[in-house]
């Protein structure tokens, strides 16, 4: 089973931010910035083009709502949305995921994950604030 299927199934721990009928969002364990989320279809697909219309709509709606919560709850000034599709494009987990990366200032953020893991407490607090913003 892939790690994100494990997260969807509740077998791998996560800091959940959103759960809908077809889509789940949780914090990236190696955040590029505070509040970096991954938005995934609950069904295992690898590529964007494999999504149904309903899944694609919910994925994009969730990403937009999370970006709003990053603004209202975390003070983000902007957001990067990105998908790595295929190993050659940098996709490490072969379960489609949209990165939602809040930006706080004009400093450079490398389009790659941080080498070190975020602290559990920081992840928990950030997820709670984003959930609050989505209520
Ligand atoms: P990508 O390179 O686009 O495939 O990104 C995969 C992302 O998944 C990376 O940013 C990882 O930090 C993240 N990741 C891997 N395992 C987990 C996990 N168990 N929980 C949260 N994020 C994860």
Closest CA to 78 of 63, 69, 66, 67: 67
Ligand 1 midpoint to CA 38 (Å): 8
For the chain, give the percent of residues with pLDDT over 70: 93
Query: Does the beta carbon of 83 lie inside 6 Å of ligand 1?
Result: no
Domains recognised in the chain with CATH numbers: 3-134 (3.30.428.10)
| pLDDT mean over 43-68 | 98
| pLDDT mean over 102-125 | 77
pLDDT at 29: 95
Ligand 1 midpoint to CA 113 (Å): 8
Is residue 81 over pLDDT 60? yes
The DSSP string of the chain is: --HHHHHHTTSS---EEEE-SSEEEEE-SS-SSTT-EEEEESS--SSGGGS-HHHHHHHHHHHHHHHHHHHHHH--SEEEEE---SGGGT--SSS--EEEEEE-SSS---SS--SSPPPHHHHHHHHHHHHHHH-
Ligand 1 pocket mutation pick from 7, 9, 38 by most atoms within 8 angstroms of CB? 38
Is residue 84 over pLDDT 90? yes
Query: Does the beta carbon of 90 lie inside 6 Å of ligand 1?
Result: yes
Is residue 14 over pLDDT 90? yes
Is residue 112 over pLDDT 80? no
Query: What is the C-alpha to C-alpha distance for residues 125 and 92, in angstroms, rounded to an integer?
Result: 26
Query: What is the C-alpha to C-alpha distance for residues 76 and 79, in angstroms, rounded to an integer?
Result: 7
| pLDDT mean over 31-54 | 97
CB neighbours of residue 122 within 10 Å: 13
Is residue 108 over pLDDT 90? no
Is residue 117 very low, low, confident or very high in pLDDT (cuts 50, 70, 90)? Answer: confident
């Amino acid at each position: 089973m892939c790690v994100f299927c494990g997260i969807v199934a509740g077998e791998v721990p996560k800091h959940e931010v959103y759960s809908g009928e077809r889509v789940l969002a949780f914090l990236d364990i190696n955040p590029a910035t505070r509040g970096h989320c991954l938005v995934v279809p609950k069904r295992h697909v690898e590529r964007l083009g494999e999504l149904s219309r309903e899944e694609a709509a919910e994925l994009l709606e969730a990403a937009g709502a999370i970006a709003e919560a990053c603004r209202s709850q975390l003070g983000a000034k902007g957001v990067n949305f990105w998908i790595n599709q295929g190993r050659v494009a940098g996709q490490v987990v072969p379960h489609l995921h949209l990165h939602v990366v809040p930006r706080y200032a004009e400093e450079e953020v490398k389009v790659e994950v941080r080498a070190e893991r975020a602290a559990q407490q920081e992840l928990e607090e950030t997820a709670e604030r984003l959930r609050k913003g989505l209520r």
